[in-house]
Amino acid sequence: MQSEVNQEENLNRIITVPNLLSFFRLCLIPVIIWSYCVKKNPLLAGEILLLSGLTDLADGYIARRFHRISNLGKILDPVADKLTQAAMLICLFTRFPHMLLLIVIMAGKELYMVVSGCLVIRKTGKVHGADWHGKIVTFLLYGTAAVHIIWFHITPMVSDLLIGLCAIMMVISVALYIIQNTRTLKGETV
């Protein structure tokens, strides 16, 4: 009984180290945009993006390892991820027009996730975290961005290949989320 009370208290916490790290990542977004678009320093933007990625790993590790998973964190962490990814893709779009494909898919996926996520929360009362395929998409997006930032004169073929791979995985991921959320909304066990 005591452990259930502690778990419930953790879920309702607002100020936790993982949540502070997610908030820090949100604060890094304008710095990434400024570095890439205003200062025209992709390497600096890449270093800040790396810092953002490391804090993302740290907040996830700390939340799981030290039982600091919170409902706010379940929302704040993916919001920080998605806004960072969107900013990064928009910055890269200024040099690589095919990034528009990823921006469009991401916008559609996230719109669906917000609407269906709210419906699932309303039905179940639970906030669900990212699944394995969502984590793969995040890894691919960061990897694609890193390659485009580091390899300043990337060949169009390699660029398109990476963008295509991300696009395919994003579509697979949204399809799997649609299946999962539809089952949850129908009351089926997932």
Contacts of residue 128, defined as CB under 8 A and 6 or more positions apart, other chains included, come to 74, 117, 120
125: left (phi over 0), alpha (psi -120 to 50) or beta: left
Helix axes 17-33, 42-65, angle to 10 degrees: 170
In the chain, what are the domain boundaries? 1-94, 96-189
25: left (phi over 0), alpha (psi -120 to 50) or beta: alpha
What was the pLDDT predicted at 2?
43
CB 146 within 8 A of CB 46: yes
What was the pLDDT predicted at 107?
95
Q: Measured between alpha carbons, how far is 27 from 41 in angstroms, rounded to an integer?
A: 18
* 53 token code pair: 């990625």
Residue 118 burial class via C-beta count within 10 angstroms: exposed 0-12, middle 13-18, buried 19 and up: exposed
Q: For the chain, what is the largest distance between any 2 Cα atoms, rounded to a whole number of angstroms?
A: 59
What was the pLDDT predicted at 177?
92
What was the pLDDT predicted at 13?
83
Mean pLDDT of 145-161: 93
CB 58 within 8 A of CB 21: yes
pLDDT in tens, 16-63: 999 999 999 999 999 999 999 999 999 999 999 999 999 999 998 998
- Identify the band that residue 9 occupies on the pLDDT scale cut at 50, 70 and 90: low
Q: Measured between alpha carbons, how far is 76 from 35 in angstroms, rounded to an integer?
A: 24
pLDDT in tens, 91-129: 999 999 999 999 999 999 999 988 988 898 888 877 676
- Identify the band that residue 140 occupies on the pLDDT scale cut at 50, 70 and 90: very high
What was the pLDDT predicted at 74?
83
pLDDT at 160 over 90: yes
